[in-house]
A and B are shown apart, each in its own frame.
Chain A
Amino acid sequence: MMTRSRFGDKLLHVYTWLIIVWLSSPIAVMILFGFNDKKSKSNTSWQGFTTKWYQQLFEIDGLTVALVNSLVIALVSTLVTVVIGTMLGLAVGRYRFRGKGLTNFLVFAAISTPELVMGASLLSLFVSSNVPRDSLTIIFAHVLFSLSFVTVTVRARVVTLDPSLEEAARDLGASPWGTFRQVTLPAIMPGVLAGAMLAFALSIDDYVVTSFVNGSTMTFPLWIVGSVKTGIPPQVNVMGTLIFGVGVLIAVGNAVASRRRRT
């Protein structure tokens, strides 16, 4: 019995890695073509190895600015979304209150509104109220479409929690804020973290909504889509590689750090 169970775990372990590899497989191609010594503008057939695109990484001004914009927008909108989305997730997961049905509907509507319609309506909204379009309006929009994802993820966690723990904490004299920080927040943390990752991914990769509300602010996806017509420069691949590389470093660093803590 025991051995079979270990075998099953091993199998699932391998399977999980296979899924990770599958999801990352296009990234491998992207990394490869960051080293392509291409002769013409198109970067789709392999023509030899070079590291020159790494040396010329920041030579396309517009691209560098776009990447920085994207990172800043993704960080800020993730932060805002996580705070208000987690609060809403707690509210709908834990409490009965007036307007809950409507709230659930709005959470659903924000996911199901086609991006294009959302982008276009937001644009009319901003235009008719004379709000200039820039990174701020992009952040408004990104928070809007990520909000539901964070809320839904956090709710999935909240409904599995046992409320008696918090009651116990309060009975022991903890303040509401203390209860939240020391009992509730740690308990819902996996949901909050997962929501944050989803929000970040949604923001940094968004094209449609952003393209309506950006004014003349460029983001990384907008720049890339625009350059498809004439050939995506390899620097784009290099920047993608760096984003991915930094991510892997963070993941590995995190794993190593937690191992240290354990031993």
Chain B
Amino acid sequence: MDPVNDLAFLRGMTQSRTRRDAFRIAGFSAAALALAACGVQGKKAAPPKADAVKDFWAKQKQNNQVVFANWPEYMPEDKGPLEKFKAATGISYEYKEVINENAEFFGKADPVLRAGQPLGYDIVVMTNGVQLQHMIELGYAVPLDHAQLPNFNANAGQKYKERGYDPGNTYTVPYTSGITGIAYNTKYVKEDITSIQSLFDPKYKGRVGMMRDAQEIGNFGMYALGIDPEKSTQADWEKAGAKLKEQRDAGLVRKYYDQDYIDAVSKGDVYLTMAWSGDVFQRQLAGEPVKFVVPEEGGTIWTDNMLIPKGAANPVDALKLMDFLYQPEAAAELEEFIQYVTPVPKAGDILRAKVATLKGQEKKDLETLIGSPLIFPTEADYAKLRTYTKLTTAQEQVFNRIFQTVTQA
């Protein structure tokens, strides 16, 4: 990495820009036209040098405020963990539920960050996947200072420190994880589903749900063929694509779902479907006849991650908050509300201790939560889990096209 790039990298992160309030129509339209005519400049960033990162963090000061952008329903309504953070550190917070979807969030953040303007958030949460990859590759994520993350280093589960998409947690730390497996409706499916082949079983013709997302469905196509997606090649993707096309053309698949698969399976519109663990867990608590299984051939673990976007005004405060959420107490409180997989195994101990203090339905629900492999997977469960296929930008176009041909006919 050359020094010029290093300088640009630092400037991008440190320079504070004031928004001009004046609404200047002329410059306004002209600028956009110029932009349109010339195309969009590439901003590929090389990995930062260790001392550049060190210098950056040495210059930052705590500002006693932090803006946290997250998905809705990802924080208890009383903001308990954040209130405790405020009490412990004196840092006041602004919490914004502004992220609805990764692709859309990236689509919206990209022009802003590309123009070198701040997003206005100090922490954002994104799922590992293409868009997070783009954020990192384009230099939109500030490298983290691990010296300031003692709780993370002490309490994060091993699996959450070794993630292919961000080795060494250079840019991100996990917020919560989930598992993609198979959900089935026990009213209609009278056998125990254990294998991914059930999704390809002709007796469920027209009653199988698959996910529309290329990474999700791609992984399942590969599991069905015994391919490990983490080590897959283009030839593997093509085989998986062919397998999935066959499944579609045989009329097995009812529909390629987004988030609406869960209603479909709990009502019996589909009998079995690809599914996310937390959704199914919530339906079980509601008493609906759905069951979740990680197929023996493999399942996918995905993670929503916290990162500090370039140009963030309060990076030190952001880092402190990230680390605070890795205290087992805070993680337990979050986990009880979010009901996906927490990256902090010790949160389980806290919750187990809490069970003893509860009574009746509350006690029963919490016991279900702790006992569920969907929330605290065992080592054997983890051994079956793979992440999304890691792709370069060029590979991504190929990969997407293979699977979109299946899902978007």
Tell which of A129, A215, A227 touches B72, judged by Cβ atoms closer than 8 Å.
Answer: A227
Residues of chain B having any CB pair with chain A under 8 Å: 19-21, 23-24, 27-29, 31-32, 35-36, 69, 71-74, 77, 96-101, 104, 107-108, 111-112, 115, 117, 120-121, 259, 262-263, 266-267, 278-279, 282-283, 285-288, 338-339
A60 interface hit (Cβ, 8 Å): yes
Please indicate the chain A residues that have their CB under 8 angstroms from the CB of B100 in the complex: 211, 222, 225-226, 229
Contact B31 A129 (CB under 8 A): yes
A180 interface hit (Cβ, 8 Å): no
Contact flag A42-B262 (CB < 8 Å), given A129-B28, A218-B97: yes
A123 interface hit (Cβ, 8 Å): yes
Contact flag A128-B73 (CB < 8 Å), given A216-B120, A222-B100: no
A159 interface hit (Cβ, 8 Å): no
Please indicate the chain B residues that have their CB under 8 angstroms from the CB of A130 in the complex: 19-20, 117
9 CB < 8 A contacts A-B: A62-B72, A127-B117, A129-B24, A216-B98, A218-B98, A225-B101, A226-B72, A226-B73, A231-B73
Interface residues of A in 198-213 (CB under 8 A from B): 211-212
**Nearest A-chain residue to B74, judged by Cβ:** A230
Please indicate the chain B residues that have their CB under 8 angstroms from the CB of A218 in the complex: 96-98
Contact B77 A59 (CB under 8 A): yes
Contact B19 A41 (CB under 8 A): no
Contact B282 A131 (CB under 8 A): no
Report the Cα distance A58→B322, complex, angstroms.
29
**Nearest B-chain residue to A123, judged by Cβ:** B111
Tell which of B23, B71, B72, B286 touches A38, judged by Cβ atoms closer than 8 Å.
Answer: B286
Contact A128 B266 (CB under 8 A): no
Q: Least Cβ distance of B47 to chain A in Å? A: 27
Report the Cα distance A228→B263, complex, angstroms.
11
**Nearest A-chain residue to B114, judged by Cβ:** A127
Report the Cα distance A203→B106, complex, angstroms.
24
A104 interface hit (Cβ, 8 Å): no
A251 interface hit (Cβ, 8 Å): no
Report the Cα distance A38→B283, complex, angstroms.
11
Please indicate the chain A residues that have their CB under 8 angstroms from the CB of B98 in the complex: 214, 216, 218, 222, 226
Report the Cα distance A60→B71, complex, angstroms.
14
A40 interface hit (Cβ, 8 Å): yes
Please indicate the chain A residues that have their CB under 8 angstroms from the CB of B104 in the complex: 211
Contact B111 A124 (CB under 8 A): yes
Contact B35 A124 (CB under 8 A): yes
Q: Ordered nearest first, which 8 A-B pairs have the shortest CB separation?
A: A230-B73, A129-B28, A226-B72, A40-B285, A40-B286, A226-B100, A227-B72, A128-B31
Contact flag A226-B99 (CB < 8 Å), given A40-B283, A125-B28, A216-B69: yes
Contact B77 A128 (CB under 8 A): no
Report the Cα distance A231→B259, complex, angstroms.
10
Q: Least Cβ distance of A105 to chain B in Å? A: 19
Please indicate the chain A residues that have their CB under 8 angstroms from the CB of B35 in the complex: 124, 128
A45 interface hit (Cβ, 8 Å): yes
Contact A129 B32 (CB under 8 A): yes
Report the Cα distance A124→B285, complex, angstroms.
44
Please indicate the chain A residues that have their CB under 8 angstroms from the CB of B266 in the complex: 44-45
Contact A42 B259 (CB under 8 A): no
**Nearest B-chain residue to A230, judged by Cβ:** B73
Please indicate the chain B residues that have their CB under 8 angstroms from the CB of A50 in the complex: none
In this complex, the member of A211, A212, A226 whose beta carbon has the largest number of chain B beta carbons within 10 angstroms is A226
Report the Cα distance A120→B74, complex, angstroms.
27
Q: Given A211-B100, A216-B96, A231-B73, 4 other A-B contacts at CB below 8 A?
A: A40-B286, A127-B112, A214-B98, A230-B73
Please indicate the chain B residues that have their CB under 8 angstroms from the CB of A127 in the complex: 111-112, 115, 117
In this complex, the member of B99, B108, B121 whose beta carbon has the largest number of chain A beta carbons within 10 angstroms is B108
A39 interface hit (Cβ, 8 Å): yes
Report the Cα distance A38→B31, complex, angstroms.
52
Q: Least Cβ distance of A153 to chain B in Å? A: 28
Report the Cα distance A226→B35, complex, angstroms.
31
Contact flag A129-B27 (CB < 8 Å), given A42-B282, A225-B100, A229-B259: yes
Tell which of B24, B121, B278, B288 touches A45, judged by Cβ atoms closer than 8 Å.
Answer: B288
Please indicate the chain A residues that have their CB under 8 angstroms from the CB of B262 in the complex: 42
**Nearest B-chain residue to A229, judged by Cβ:** B259
Contact A41 B31 (CB under 8 A): no
Q: Least Cβ distance of B9 to chain A in Å? A: 21
Report the Cα distance A229→B101, complex, angstroms.
9
Report the Cα distance A99→B100, complex, angstroms.
42
Contact B71 A230 (CB under 8 A): yes
Report the Cα distance A128→B104, complex, angstroms.
19
Report the Cα distance A44→B279, complex, angstroms.
12
Report the Cα distance A223→B339, complex, angstroms.
20
Report the Cα distance A226→B71, complex, angstroms.
7
Please indicate the chain A residues that have their CB under 8 angstroms from the CB of B111 in the complex: 120, 123-124, 127-128
Report the Cα distance A216→B109, complex, angstroms.
11
Q: Least Cβ distance of B82 to chain A in Å? A: 13
Tell which of B23, B27, B120 touches A215, judged by Cβ atoms closer than 8 Å.
Answer: B120
Please indicate the chain A residues that have their CB under 8 angstroms from the CB of B267 in the complex: 44
Report the Cα distance A44→B35, complex, angstroms.
47
A103 interface hit (Cβ, 8 Å): no
Q: Least Cβ distance of A217 to chain B in Å? A: 9
Please indicate the chain B residues that have their CB under 8 angstroms from the CB of A128 in the complex: 28, 31-32, 35, 111, 115
